[in-house]
Structure 1
Amino acid sequence: MDATKSSLLPKPKEGLKKKFVISAMIVSNFIAWSCLSLMAPFFPIEAKMKGLGETVIGLIYSSSELVIFLMSPLMGRLISTVSPRFFYITGILVIGVTGILFGVLDKSPPYVPFTATCFAVRMTQATGVASLISASFMIASQNYPENIGTIYGILETAVGLGFMAGPAMGGGLYQLGGYGLPFWVLGGCTFACGLASWILLPAKQRTQECSATDDKDQSVWTIFTSPWVWFGSCTNICAYGAGLIWMPVLSLHLKQFHLSQVAIGLMYTIPPGMYAITTPLWGYLIDWKIPPPVLILTGLILLSILCLVFGPAPFLPLQNDMVTCVVTLVLMGLCMGPVIVSSIKCMVEGARNLGFDANGANFGVVGGVVQSSVCLGTLVSPLLGGSLTERFGFAWMMVAGAIIALIPIILFGPFLAYVAYDKCKSKAAKKNYDTLNGEVTVDNDIVMTALK
Structure 2
Amino acid sequence: MASHGYKNGNIAHSRNGRPLNIQENTTDRAKIDGSYEIIKSTPRRKESECRLDLSHQKGLSASQNNANGGINESTRLRSKDVSVLPGVGRERAVLVLLALGNFCVGASISLQAPFFPHEAERKGSNSTEYGFVFSVFELTIFFFGPIFAKIVPIVKPRFMLIAGLFYVGAACVLFGFLNKSPPGATFLSLAIATRIAEGIGTAGFQTAVFSIVAAEFPNSLATSYSIQQTVFGAGLVAGPTVGGCLYQIGGFMAPFVSIGVLLLLCDVLVYFLMPATEEPNEGQKTGDMLKFWGNIGILLDAYCVFCTFVIIGYNAAVLEPHLRQFNLEPYMVGLVFVLNGTVYACTAWIWGKAADKTVRTKELCIVACLLLCASLLLLGPAPFLPFPTAVWTVMLALGLFGLGSGGTIVPSFVGSFRDTLKRGFADDLSTYGLVSSVFTVSHSMGAFVGPTLGGYLLDSVGYRMGTMVLLGNEVLLILALCIYVVVHRKPSEDKEPLLKEVT
TM-score between both structures, scaled by the size of structure 2: 0.80
Matches within 5 A, 1:300-379: 300-379=369-448
SS in 2 for 1:358: coil
Distance 1:225 1:355 in 2: 14
Deviates more, 1:401-410 or 1:7-16: 7-16
Deviation for aligned residue 1:316: 2.2
Deviations 1:205-244 (A, max 9, x none): 2125xx4624x64312121133221110111111222354
Distance 2:367 2:480 in 1: 16
SS in 2 for 1:135: helix
Distance 2:152 2:225 in 1: 19
Structure 1 residue aligned with 2:123? 50
Unaligned segments of structure 2, at least 5 residues: 1-22, 36-79, 496-503
Contact 2:361-2:415 at 8 Å conserved across structures? yes
Deviation for aligned residue 1:258: 0.8
Distance 1:92 1:308 in 2: 39
Structure 1 residue aligned with 2:19? none
Distance 1:297 1:174, change over 3 A: same
Matches within 5 A, 1:31-430: 31-202=104-275, 204-207=276-279, 211=281, 213-214=283-284, 217-289=286-358, 291-420=360-489, 422-423=490-491
Distance 2:493 2:420 in 1: 22
Distance 2:494 2:183 in 1: 68
Contact 1:63-1:123 at 8 Å conserved across structures? yes
Deviation for aligned residue 1:51: 1.1
Q: What amino acid is aligned across from residue 353 of structure 1 in structure 2?
A: K
Q: CA RMSD in A?
A: 2.2
Deviates more, 1:168-177 or 1:276-285: 276-285
Deviation for aligned residue 1:400: 1.0
Structure 1 residue aligned with 2:71? none
Deviates more, 1:270-279 or 1:193-202: 193-202
Runs of 4+ in 1 over 6 A off after TM superposition: 425-428
Distance 1:6 1:365, change over 3 A: closer
Distance 2:136 2:486 in 1: 38
Distance 2:82 2:128 in 1: 53
Q: What amino acid is aligned across from residue 82 of structure 1 in structure 2?
A: V
Deviations 1:31-83 (A, max 9, x none): 12212211011101101101111111211111111111111110111111111
Deviation for aligned residue 1:427: 9.1
Contact 2:301-2:438 at 8 Å conserved across structures? no
Contact 2:142-2:441 at 8 Å conserved across structures? yes
Contact 1:242-1:404 at 8 Å conserved across structures? no
TM-score between both structures, scaled by the size of structure 1: 0.88
Distance 1:405 1:327 in 2: 19
Contact 1:243-1:401 at 8 Å conserved across structures? no
Structure 2 residue aligned with 1:436? none
Distance 1:380 1:427 in 2: 36
Contact 1:51-1:110 at 8 Å conserved across structures? yes
Distance 1:426 1:270, change over 3 A: closer
Distance 1:355 1:99 in 2: 41
Distance 2:463 2:494 in 1: 48
Q: What amino acid is aligned across from residue 45 of structure 1 in structure 2?
A: H
Contact 1:96-1:191 at 8 Å conserved across structures? yes
Distance 2:376 2:331 in 1: 24
Distance 1:426 1:120, change over 3 A: closer
Distance 1:206 1:122, change over 3 A: same
Contact 1:212-1:361 at 8 Å conserved across structures? no
SS in 2 for 1:207: coil
**What is the number of equivalent residue pairs in this alignment?**
422
Unaligned segments of structure 1, at least 5 residues: 429-452
Contact 2:138-2:199 at 8 Å conserved across structures? yes
Deviation for aligned residue 1:2: 8.5
Distance 1:361 1:305, change over 3 A: same
Distance 1:71 1:427 in 2: 35
Deviation for aligned residue 1:364: 1.2
Name whichever structure is richer in helix by fraction.
Answer: 1
Contact 2:374-2:400 at 8 Å conserved across structures? no
Distance 1:129 1:110 in 2: 27
Deviation for aligned residue 1:289: 1.3
Q: What amino acid is aligned across from residue 151 of structure 1 in structure 2?
A: S
Deviations 1:407-447 (A, max 9, x none): 32233443221123x33x8799xxxxxxxxxxxxxxxxxxx
Distance 1:190 1:9 in 2: 38
Sequence identity of aligned pairs in percent?
29
Deviations 1:251-290 (A, max 9, x none): 1111111111121111110001111111111101110116
Contact 2:150-2:287 at 8 Å conserved across structures? no
Contact 2:287-2:430 at 8 Å conserved across structures? no
SS in 2 for 1:289: coil
Deviations 1:57-113 (A, max 9, x none): 211111111111111110111111111111100000111111110111011111100
Distance 2:471 2:312 in 1: 9
Distance 2:323 2:268 in 1: 43
Distance 1:38 1:302, change over 3 A: same
Contact 2:363-2:485 at 8 Å conserved across structures? no
Distance 2:343 2:282 in 1: 40
Distance 1:307 1:62 in 2: 24
